[in-house]
Amino acid sequence: MQIHQSAEDYLETILMLSQRMGKVRSIDVVNELGFTKAGVSIAMKKLRENGYIAVDGEGNLTLLEPGLEIAQRIYSRHQLLTHFFVQLGVDEQTAAEDACKAEHILSEQTLEKIRESALRNDAAHPQAK
């Protein structure tokens, strides 16, 4: 399944907002990402047409199974990389920003090695969690 980085970012944002707020509308995505209403509207239309999200009559966005799978995969990568970068001594905000960039480009092999290293470090330094 080939999907663009921007679509992955939108799906991940919908997932994060739904976890935080429950219901998510396009304006919430606009506010979270700082994009224009028109740009988000176009993106939501494409995601809906491609079967990644559904939009109800009140404008609430719901991740459909394919969109949810992508969002969870990207969000999991984001959390792992943020945690790993913080372990390296990067401040939380910079770590999260860098994770957002790296989450799309790293191979599964590289991510697995990062995961292994982060787990080893957590085990060696349990108080640092």
pLDDT of residue 2: 55
Please state the pTM of the whole predicted model: 0.85
- Side chain identity at 37, as an amino acid letter? K
What is the three-class DSSP state of 11? helix
Choose among 95, 69, 72: nearest CA to 84: 95
pLDDT in tens, 86-103: 999 999 999 999 998 998
- What does the alpha-carbon distance between residue 48 and residue 111 come to, in Å, rounded to a whole number? 30
What DSSP designation does 119 have?
H
CB burial of residue 48 (10 Å; 0-12, 13-18, 19+):
middle
For the chain, how far is it from start to end, CA to CA, in angstroms? 35
- What does the alpha-carbon distance between residue 84 and residue 80 come to, in Å, rounded to a whole number? 6
pLDDT in tens, 26-82: 999 999 999 999 999 999 999 999 999 999 999 999 999 999 999 999 999 999 999
